[in-house]
Amino acid sequence: MRCVAREEHLTVRGLRHRLLRWGPADRAPIVLLHGFMDSSETWQFVVDELPSDWSFVAFDWRGFGGTDRAAEGYWFPDYFADLEALLERLVPHTGARLVGHSMGGNIATLYAGIRPERIEWLVNLEGIGLPCTQPGQAPGRYAQWLDALARGPRAGRYVSVERFAETLRAKHPRWTPERARFIAQAWTRPRADGDGVELAADPRHRLPNPVLYRHEEAEACWRAVRAPVLLLMGEQSAFRPHFEERGGEGGWKRHLGDLRFAWVAGAGHMMHIDQPAAVAAHIERFAKEPPDDQGRTHR
């Protein structure tokens, strides 16, 4: 690791959030937003490939990594409120520069339309929304949710960090043994009974969402975004069919007025781990682009 992370904690909206910082102290760091079942540590590989004089901060979303779990459960709009509260503490007096992967990219892009004046620029790593749903799916989805509540959430358990790392490498053969172990360590914590490790993420995150995803509402938020956006997709991502079914790059350009787009070669959905150097190169070029006709600069 070229740049060592510094751990901090901030309490916002009643939950103690864990933060990681890299680079020099700065009043306007680039904010890194992790994806579902991930944590802040995995941004390490991209940070190591970006300029050492840049400042970064990442935080674990509620119920992930080292951030407190929410006793009342998890509802998607809470992520917008958490992001807003944290930006007020981390980037209080200027437009925020965000890099989000998957769930983090979804949250960031929606928030950029909800609070368009708050965002300077945004890099979205496959935060492309969920498959469309239809009202007729509601009865079955509610039943699925009730059944899952009755069974109760189950934490993912592993004999050891090393065994979990082997499982990760089997699923992600691009990852080196060292990288897989780093991630396995980041994603787990020792079990209270001392019998191996368990996933650090709250298992309630895996409960089915009783609320159907309404793509039209997401599109309305995307159309309100004013900041420049760079959208990155992994060439070998399992999400590529969904992306292309929704119109691909052209579909997104219909919603976002200032969009750049690029494929990341040799990468699946976890592109920030698969190909961190390529992802970092795209981010650096985008951040250094000259001002547009409205005078906005990306840096």
Of the pLDDT bands very low, low, confident and very high (cuts 50, 70, 90), residue 240 is very high
pLDDT > 70 fraction of the chain, expressed in percent and rounded: 96
Give the pLDDT of residue 131. Answer: 87
Sign of CA dihedral 78, 124, 222, 94: positive
Beta-bridge partners for 230: 123, 260
Give the pLDDT of residue 194. Answer: 85
Q: What is the pLDDT of residues 30-49, one digit of tens each?
A: 999 999 999 999 999 999 99
Give the pLDDT of residue 290. Answer: 60
pLDDT > 90 fraction of the chain, expressed in percent and rounded: 88
Q: What is the pTM of this model?
A: 0.94
Give the pLDDT of residue 101. Answer: 98
Tokens of 182: 């780093």
pLDDT at residue 181 is higher than 50: yes
Give the pLDDT of residue 296. Answer: 46
Give the pLDDT of residue 295. Answer: 42
Query: Once rounded to an integer, what is the mean pLDDT over residues 182-196?
Result: 93
Tokens of 296: 């906005």
pLDDT at residue 278 is higher than 80: yes
**Rounded CA separation 170/36 (Å):** 20
For residue 121, give the 3-state DSSP assignment: strand
Of the pLDDT bands very low, low, confident and very high (cuts 50, 70, 90), residue 155 is confident
Which letter does DSSP use for residue 80 in this model?
Answer: H
Give the pLDDT of residue 1. Answer: 61
Query: Once rounded to an integer, what is the mean pLDDT over residues 197-209?
Result: 95
- The distance of Cα 116 from the centroid of its chain, to the nearest Å, equals 19
- Mean pLDDT, the chain, rounded, equals 93
Tokens of 59: 């935080």
Query: Once rounded to an integer, what is the mean pLDDT over residues 220-242?
Result: 96
Q: What is the pLDDT of residues 54-76, one digit of tens each?
A: 999 999 999 999 999 999 889 99
Query: Once rounded to an integer, what is the mean pLDDT over residues 87-93?
Result: 94
Contacts of 48 (CB under 8 A, 6+ apart): 1, 2, 3, 276
248 and 14 Cβ atoms separated by less than 8 Å: no
Give the pLDDT of residue 265. Answer: 97
298 and 120 Cβ atoms separated by less than 8 Å: yes
Q: What is the pLDDT of residues 206-230, one digit of tens each?
A: 999 999 999 999 999 999 999 999 9
